[in-house]
Amino acid sequence: MTALDLLFVVLVAPVVALAVALHAASGASARAALAVGVGVGAVSVSGFAAKHLFGDALVRAYLRLLKPSPVVSSPLELVVVHLVAGFAVAASAVAAYLVGSRSGRLTAE
C-alpha cells in the first residue's frame, strides 16, 4: 500500500467500524454490535486494498467506462480513482448495515 492508502485505511476504517458498532449497540447485544462493527471495518479496509487485490482491473474499468477516449491519465487521477473506490466500498458497507439494521435483524435478544 502506498502511504496515502495506508493513511486512509488507518483513519477511515476505524472510524467507520466504531460508528457502526456504537449504532448497533443501541439495539443489539454487545457481541453482535462488535461483530458488525468489525465486519464493516474489514470491508472498509478491503475497499482501500482493492488496488492490490484486483491489480489493474479497477483502473482498466475506469478507463473503459468513464474515460473511453485514449487520453493519458495523470498519476494523481489514478490515486483519486483508488481512493474513491475505497470510500465507495466503505459507504456501501455502511449502507448495507443500515438496511440490515432497519429490517430488524440486529435486535436485542
Grid coordinates representing 57 are 482491473
Model confidence pLDDT, tens digit, residues 22-42: 888 887 788 888 888 999 999
What cell does 1 get? Answer: 500500500
- Model-level pTM? 0.80
- pLDDT confidence bin for 106, thresholds 50/70/90: low
Distance, CA of 60 to CA of 95 (rounded, Å): 26
44 contact partners, CB below 8 Å, separation of at least 6: 9, 12, 13, 16, 17, 86, 89, 90, 93
What residue type is assigned to position 1 of the chain?
M
